[in-house]
């Protein structure tokens, strides 16, 4: 039983980080009609910005993290929107998918060329200590990961529901034409969505890199998990992506521990196929159309 608790808890921890990536992915899909196939690389790259600040510039950790966040928001939010997405609108079909895939290649190769191909050691944010709770060995890092992620999700939900800007973003997601008529600056709302996604991805990167190490190829698996979590959970609800992320994290861990390690990656994939075919709006999603 205590092993089960351990597995579930550490699954929740990774899952909460996946959720951040999934939520960002959802936001951008819903509010900006952009399916970002580079989301995994968006989570991979900020770690390298942090490493650059740490190792090349010699900055202290907190400064490096801030640097990573700011650069990510600028590059993966602002630049991505202005240089890649904006010129392609309203062509949001296959060309945009291809373009985001090309961005993924660009970021991946960029990290490999400019920093290095080997997995890079990455500073841990939280101490590696463990607690003993009722016989189960619980990692402080896991608990803090969950807490940080959930607080961010809470803050984001409050922002979207309670602030004027947040509600404008929601309006833009539901019906851009009507929102525009009602005076919402939809272009700016779309920009904010991209910035939020970049910030979420950067945060996810900082939480997960201590575990996975920073490697240029991380994006592939992280990306697929983000997609699956978002779609399975219910991609037109933030809490859907959250639930999706947590679910995938826990299921993945449970599968690896109790069922099979070689096919652990198959479960989320099968889940994805089943959900898309049977209930495309996801477990928590509504089939009403776009909303965040």
The footprint of other proteins (CB under 8 A) covers: 35, 84, 87-88, 91, 93-99, 101-103, 105-106, 109-110, 112-113, 220, 224, 227-228, 231, 262-263, 265-266, 269-270, 272-273, 276-277, 280
Beta carbon of residue 215, minimum distance to other proteins (angstroms, whole number): 15
Q: Which is nearer to other proteins, 95 or 123 (CB)?
A: 95
Beta carbon of residue 152, minimum distance to other proteins (angstroms, whole number): 26
Beta carbon of residue 30, minimum distance to other proteins (angstroms, whole number): 12
Distance from C-alpha of 241 to C-alpha of 72, rounded to nearest angstrom: 22
* Closest C-alpha among 145, 122, 141 to residue 215: 122
Beta carbon of residue 239, minimum distance to other proteins (angstroms, whole number): 21
Q: Which is nearer to other proteins, 1 or 277 (CB)?
A: 277
Q: Which is nearer to other proteins, 1 or 94 (CB)?
A: 94
Beta carbon of residue 25, minimum distance to other proteins (angstroms, whole number): 11
Beta carbon of residue 26, minimum distance to other proteins (angstroms, whole number): 12
Q: Which is nearer to other proteins, 57 or 105 (CB)?
A: 105
Beta carbon of residue 53, minimum distance to other proteins (angstroms, whole number): 22
Q: Which is nearer to other proteins, 35 or 143 (CB)?
A: 35
Instruction: State the burial class of residue 5 (Cβ atoms within 10 Å of its Cβ: 0-12, 13-18, 19+).
Output: middle
Asked whether the beta carbons of 229 and 217 are under 8 A apart, the reply is no
Beta carbon of residue 147, minimum distance to other proteins (angstroms, whole number): 31
> What residues have CB less than 8 Å from 19, skipping those under 6 apart?
149, 153, 229, 241, 242, 243, 244, 245, 246, 249
Q: Which is nearer to other proteins, 93 or 123 (CB)?
A: 93
Q: Which is nearer to other proteins, 129 or 262 (CB)?
A: 262
Q: Which is nearer to other proteins, 154 or 269 (CB)?
A: 269
């Amino acid at each position: 039983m205590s092993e089960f608790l351990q597995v579930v808890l550490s699954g929740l921890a990774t899952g909460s980080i996946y959720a951040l990536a999934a939520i960002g992915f959802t936001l951008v899909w819903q509010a900006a009609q952009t399916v970002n196939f580079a989301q995994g690389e968006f989570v991979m790259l900020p770690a390298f910005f942090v490493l650059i600040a740490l190792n090349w510039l010699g900055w202290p950790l907190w400064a490096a993290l801030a640097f990573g966040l700011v650069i990510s928001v600028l590059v993966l939010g602002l630049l991505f929107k202005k240089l890649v997405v904006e010129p392609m609108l309203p062509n949001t079909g296959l060309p945009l998918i291809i373009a985001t895939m090309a961005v993924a290649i660009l970021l991946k190769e960029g990290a490999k060329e400019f920093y290095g191909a080997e997995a890079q050691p990455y500073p841990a944010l939280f101490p590696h200590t463990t607690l003993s709770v009722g016989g189960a060995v619980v990692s402080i890092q896991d608990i803090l990961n969950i807490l940080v992620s959930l607080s961010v999700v809470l803050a984001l939900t409050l922002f979207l529901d309670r602030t004027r800007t947040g509600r404008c973003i929601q309006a833009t997601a539901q019906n851009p034409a009507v929102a525009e008529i009602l005076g919402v600056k939809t272009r700016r709302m779309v920009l904010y969505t991209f910035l939020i996604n970049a910030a979420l991805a950067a945060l996810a990167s900082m939480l997960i890199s201590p575990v996975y190490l920073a490697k240029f190829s991380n994006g592939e698996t992280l990306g697929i998990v983000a997609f699956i979590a978002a779609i399975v959970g219910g991609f037109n609800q933030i809490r859907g992506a959250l639930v999706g992320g947590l679910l995938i994290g826990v299921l993945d861990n449970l599968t690896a521990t109790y069922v099979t390690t070689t096919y652990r990656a198959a479960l989320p994939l099968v889940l994805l196929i089943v959900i898309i075919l049977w209930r495309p709006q996801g477990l928590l999603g509504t089939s009403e159309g776009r909303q965040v």
